[in-house]
Structure 1
Amino acid sequence: MTAATPRPGRRGFAAALAATAAGAAALAAASGRTWATGVIEVAGPTAPAPVELTGADLAPAASAMGIAGLAALAALVAARGWPRRIIGLLMALFGCIALQSVWSGTRPAELARLAAEQATAGGRAEAPGLAAAWPALAAAGAVLLVLSGLATAVRGPSWPGMGSRYDRHSAPRTARADDPAELWKSLDSGEDPTLDPAAPDAASRPGALSAASRRSSPADSRPNA
């Protein structure tokens, strides 16, 4: 017997969640790494001082959009229906902002400007060398946010909720008397596990009603001869 194949909507939802989480994590992880290194030359016998520029220095918006992407991921899990369109558009916007920040922060002119700000008085900063791995990871994370956001904006309202499979029926559930765990669950939900739900209530049995009617009939209230 083969297992049931997941529905396409559930697969799309899971793929969007995975892409959003991967994109936000890539932005957050790459922002704290060193993207560019250089040296500052100072006049005199002082040795050149190294300068390092991290992703937070070069592309501060990318780091912020990574955190925003994680918040959007939590909102996507909790939301249902048309609000997912708004969340998807925001996710795509976060990705675009992060991608633009990565591109502008890695331009040679921007690298030289930021390195010059690190130089002390009388020093001269050389143009830092860019390590392409971490900016590329941040750009890939931004692209993932854009793609998952667009997919959510288009198909999000038709995706099922994550908690729908755990919804319980409103009818009370019969507890098994031989299962202690079920007894405790019944007590927590306000049910009495000692009652037999299969047996009708004493007041609702036809025999009980007829007996009660005979006891309350006028013939029983006449005095004995």
Structure 2
Amino acid sequence: MAEASRLRTRALVPGLLGAALSLLAGAQSWWRARGEGVSVAFSGTETTAGLSQALGVVALAAWLLVLVLRTRGRRVVGVLTVVTGAAIATLGGLRRQPNAATVRAGVREVSLADQFALVGSVWPYVYAVAGLLVLTAGLLVTLTAGRWPQRSDRFTRAAATARVTAEDDPAEVWRAQDAGLDPTTEPDVRDEDIRDTMDEDHPTRQGPPT
């Protein structure tokens, strides 16, 4: 059980980190138009027409789904996460520049200068690294989903604990002995037999005479 939890943690931590990092990096300045008296920033969202943020949202949503799905669903989401991570890494690695119309419109908002140059930042590379984290985590999910702890496991353990507690309850043992049962030899039928015996002996639980 501990090993299964470790496998899940190894996939979730880089996956969630990569998704959060992609959202952060996508919102930062990827390019800056600089000239005489001009310095206009263009974020990854503007540069990619919103695609950088959309991929980050998909990656984050995928990890939230992984937490509630079973093995088959986790594997499907894991494959989709691999594709999403590859797309994020590719988009960041390409360092796509904003189109000329967007740059001119941004510059015109602050200056009438016609001479400027685009200068890149490190954030596209950070975005690409986030994509690699998402991709790696998606592979881990796909390969290890079958060994993750299932949601039903904790309910099974709780039920087993409740049975053990009931069997070890001294009051239950005394009631079994009063009913003429040996609790050490008939643990499986003890509770049912006690209830039947008590129903027969208790006058208020007897049915009307026939």
TM-score higher than 0.5 = yes
CA contact (8 A) 1:37 1:128 kept: yes
2:86 corresponding residue in structure 1? 96
CA contact (8 A) 1:23 1:145 kept: yes
2:186 corresponding residue in structure 1? none
Q: Which moved more, 1:70-79 or 1:32-41?
A: 32-41
1:141 corresponding residue in structure 2? 130
Give the C-alpha shift of residue 203 in structure 1.
8.7
Please tell me whether residue 114 in structure 1 is matched to residue 116 in structure 2: no
Structure 1: 5+ residue stretches without partners: 42-47, 178-194, 214-225
Q: Distance in 2 between matches of 1:168 and 1:37?
A: 58
The one-letter amino acid of 2:174's match is A
Change (3 A) 1:142 1:162: farther
For the aligned residue pairs, the C-alpha RMSD in angstroms reads 3.5
CA contact (8 A) 2:93 2:125 kept: no
2:150 corresponding residue in structure 1? 161
Q: Distance in 2 between matches of 1:103 and 1:125?
A: 27
CA contact (8 A) 2:47 2:96 kept: no
Give the C-alpha shift of residue 112 in structure 1.
4.8
Please tell me whether residue 17 in structure 1 is matched to residue 6 in structure 2: no
Structure 2: 5+ residue stretches without partners: 182-196, 202-210
Q: Distance in 1 between matches of 2:142 and 2:31?
A: 36
Q: Distance in 2 between matches of 1:102 and 1:114?
A: 19
Please tell me whether residue 66 in structure 1 is matched to residue 56 in structure 2: yes
Q: Distance in 2 between matches of 1:205 and 1:91?
A: 62
The structure with the largest helix share of the pair is: 2
Please tell me whether residue 82 in structure 1 is matched to residue 77 in structure 2: no
In the alignment of these two chains, the number of paired residues is 178
TM-score of the superposed pair, with normalisation by structure 1? 0.64
1:32 corresponding residue in structure 2? 27
Q: Distance in 1 between matches of 2:52 and 2:85?
A: 8
Summarize deviations over 1:48-76 as a string: whole Å, max 9, x none. 33211112212322222222222111211
Change (3 A) 1:126 1:98: same
CA contact (8 A) 2:78 2:141 kept: yes
